């Protein structure tokens, strides 16, 4: 599965990067390709390339605040969760995403 997404917390610092790291590890452990962009007080980092969005099977937005650029994901399955969900149970979230996508096939 190809996953892209955004991580963003209220401060745009700690939880943003912890959520990104946990999502990346959980997805890679499950054998998926993943690219997570971060948004916060220091701006946007690791912007998702257009090609990865085009090839994405799902978009995960782990955010506690409004994120910029959601229009890029028009026509894609978008799952939005708080950063806390990703931080506490990243493997469970990836499993849930797999199940949701399997139901759509």
SS3 44: strand
- Directed axis angle between helix 14-29 and helix 90-104, to 10°? 60
CB atoms < 10 A from the CB of 5, how many?
Answer: 29
Q: Which of 4, 6, 9, 48 is catalytic?
A: 9
Judge whether 67 and 6 are in contact, CB under 8 Å: yes
Q: What are phi and psi of 69, to 5 degrees?
A: 85, 20
Q: Is 9 considered catalytic here?
A: yes
In whole angstroms, give the CA distance from residue 62 to residue 49: 18
Q: Catalytic positions, please?
A: 9
């Amino acid at each position: 599965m190809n996953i892209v997404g955004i991580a963003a917390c209220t401060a745009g610092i700690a939880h943003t990067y912890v959520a990104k790291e946990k999502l990346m590890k959980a997805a890679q452990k499950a054998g998926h390709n993943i690219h997570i962009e971060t948004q916060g007080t220091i701006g946007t980092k690791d912007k998702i390339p257009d090609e990865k969005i085009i090839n994405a099977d799902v978009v995960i937005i782990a955010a506690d605040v409004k994120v910029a650029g959601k229009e890029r994901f028009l026509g894609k399955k978008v799952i939005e969760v708080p950063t806390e969900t990703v931080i506490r149970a990243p493997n469970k979230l990836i499993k849930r995403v797999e199940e949701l996508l399997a139901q759509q096939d």
